[in-house]
Amino acid sequence: MGARGSRMHETELIPTKRRSRRRRGRGAGMNPGRRRAILVWSAALSLATLVVIGLAIIFWLKPRLRSDSGVGPAIFSSDEADVRVVSKFPSPSREQALDLVKRAIANRNPEKVESLFRTGNASRAEVLEFFKSSEQRDGLIERYEWLSSMDVNGLLLEGVVVIYKGKEKRGERLALLTPDSVGNWKLDFEAFARTIRPSWQELLEKGAEQAVVRVFVGKDVYFNGPFGDDKEWSCYALVSPDIEDTLRGYCKIGSAEAAAMEKLLTEDRKFSRATLESRRVKDGEPRQFEITRVLAEDWVVADGGGDL
């Protein structure tokens, strides 16, 4: 089968102008008081119409303006509902969540890393170096947006979007907080850093054979080479704010990986965050990978992470 590709496009809202002509006729001799009343009502109706149109435009634009930080969808989508599950640990308040995120980002003391972060496979030095170079990489922090509960994978999660001014355009990072075994809430470092192993450079420029990636996933229809049979493979676009190119991931139809990927996407949710294991396949293109395991529905991987 030949190659077929899908591409995401930005939509533009193009306002149109309507011209009205002033007419003279029967209203020329109208009573001045009546004329004023008509003008007042006309103005009021026009204002109401403009308000309705303005609100409609705002609601239409809001989800589209959430991410101007690069390719792919927004870091946080408005269709992700509050899904708090029953827990023996109380959730942090808005003020507590924001304070924890701010303290974690500002920390430069290696002795405090474990008390502020869920570090995963990252060392203290990696965590500190990431935030030491944060301003050079992402720019100054512009503001924080509290998202409250975002539970997935059986984990309790609280979300805060950190918005950076950036050098050329705004950027976002998602701070996901989760409690440890005794209820201390910590920032998941690897989710915040969007850590992949090995690095994007080693994967895309040096041809690493396998990788664990944190990406957005969405359905795609690009089939060729070893993935040329759309009756055998499901295709997904893999995008990240950290790279310009769109990657393609493939699952065998009917496999556990394909079932896990299908759980991530719905009619209303075109893209979802996911942490995946992937590998290259012989004769595949440089940006084609087989998805060998779905480690997490989000960028936070549970201890001993496994398939959904």
- CATH number, position 208: 2.40.50.140
Residue type, 57: I
Whether residue 243 has pLDDT greater than 60: yes
The closest of 162, 159, 174 to 91, measured between CA atoms, is 159
Residue type, 220: D
Residues 110 and 188 in one domain: yes
Whether 34 is in a domain gets the answer no
Query: Above pLDDT 70, what percent of the chain?
Result: 70
Residues 136 and 182 in one domain: yes
Whether 70 is in a domain gets the answer no
Q: Which residue has the tokens 């690493």?
A: 208
Whether residue 104 has pLDDT greater than 70: yes
Residues 130 and 174 in one domain: yes
Domain end marker among 140, 164, 193: 193
Whether 112 is in a domain gets the answer yes
What pLDDT, in 10s, does the model give residues 253-267?
A: 999 999 999 989 877
Whether 109 is in a domain gets the answer yes
- pLDDT confidence band for 77 (50 / 70 / 90): low
Q: Give dist(CA 169, CA 56) in Å, integer.
A: 26
Domain end marker among 169, 193, 217: 193
Domain count, the chain: 2
Mean pLDDT in residue range 190-200: 97
Residues 206 and 183 in one domain: no
Q: How does 214-249 read in b/e, with b if 16+ C-beta sit within 10 Å?
A: bbbbbebebbbebbeeeeebbbbbbbbbbbeebbbb
What pLDDT, in 10s, does the model give residues 205-220?
A: 999 999 999 999 999 9
The set of residues, in sequence order, having a beta carbon less than 8 Å from that of 102 and lying 6+ positions away, is 144
Whether residue 236 has pLDDT greater than 80: yes
* Range scoring the smallest mean pLDDT among 15-19, 36-40, 184-188: 15-19
Q: Give dist(CA 194, CA 208) in Å, integer.
A: 18
Whether 47 is in a domain gets the answer no
Domain end marker among 159, 193, 227: 193
The set of residues, in sequence order, having a beta carbon less than 8 Å from that of 259 and lying 6+ positions away, is none
* Range scoring the smallest mean pLDDT among 12-26, 73-87, 242-256, 258-272: 12-26
Residues 178 and 229 in one domain: no
**Residue 254: which domain range?**
200-296
Whether 232 is in a domain gets the answer yes
Whether residue 3 has pLDDT greater than 50: no
92: DSSP letter = P
The closest of 130, 138, 124, 136 to 105, measured between CA atoms, is 130
Whether 135 is in a domain gets the answer yes
The per-residue pLDDT for 4 is 39
Residues 214 and 156 in one domain: no
Q: Give dist(CA 237, CA 220) in Å, integer.
A: 5
Residues 232 and 287 in one domain: yes
Whether 210 is in a domain gets the answer yes
Strands 141-149 and 210-220 come out as unpaired
What pLDDT, in 10s, does the model give residues 137-174?
A: 999 999 999 998 888 877 889 999 999 998 778 899 99
- pLDDT confidence band for 114 (50 / 70 / 90): very high
The per-residue pLDDT for 44 is 65
Whether residue 98 has pLDDT greater than 70: yes
Cβ atoms of residues 226 and 284 within 8 Å: yes
CATH number at residue 127: 3.10.450
153: DSSP letter = T
Mean pLDDT in residue range 288-295: 97
Whether residue 11 has pLDDT greater than 70: no
The closest of 154, 155, 149, 174 to 164, measured between CA atoms, is 174
The per-residue pLDDT for 56 is 52
Q: Give dist(CA 283, CA 225) in Å, integer.
A: 7
Residues 161 and 210 in one domain: no
